[in-house]
Amino acid sequence: MDFKDVIVDVFGEARGALFEAEIQHLIGRGYSEEDLHAFLEKFALSTGIFFTLSMFRRANLTVKDMRRSLDFLFNSFPILEAEFSKYIPQSSRILDFGCGRGLVSCSLALKGFEVHGADTSGEALDVAEGLAHRLQCRVTFHLVKDGEFPFKDRYFDVIFSHWAFHEIQEYVQPMIATDSVEYLGTKATFS
């Protein structure tokens, strides 16, 4: 089975490139490509089926609603890039705070924005670098350590965090939101 083709068919080219970047990252950590593909071949479909059935049971959604939910879960970046393109000038400097594996960062960079992705996970940033290389886009990724922002005052026009803010300790969230607007830029969005 060609997993990338299946992923591209369901979720698009960017997710297919992310799959390849994930595999390359694991190979870099010492996994065998053959072993990974054999494992996926044997377990991915059946595991996915049980997770999907569990989602139906827990969420009590219709098939149509589940499809829309999964489409948003795995394909929210086109919605974000469309909204950014509508309201933010293309010359804007954007910080994707909590960028993870870089899918949204790369999609915005491909639309012409100057994008910086910041995350606390070096492994996620390694995958993000691989994704940017595969998609041939330019994103500058930064590892954030000890809450230190490696950026100049007021460098960014927009700061956003998509599905990452909930992973930050609650008592730090108000400080980050306030400091982000005061220190890093003029507009911030946390979702």
Q: What is the pLDDT of residues 63-108, one digit of tens each?
A: 999 888 888 777 777 777 888 888 888 888 998 988 999 999 999 9
- At residue 131 the predicted structure's pLDDT band, cuts being 50, 70 and 90, is very high
- Mean per-residue pLDDT over the chain, rounded: 83
Closest by CA position to 187, among listed 150, 154, 140? 154
Long-range contacts of 113-116 (CB under 8 A, 24+ apart): 113/84, 113/88, 115/139, 115/140, 116/140, 116/141, 116/142, 116/151, 116/156
Domain range summary for the chain, segments of one domain joined by +: 3-64, 75-190
The per-residue pLDDT for 166 is: 54
- The CATH class that applies to domain 75-190 reads alpha beta
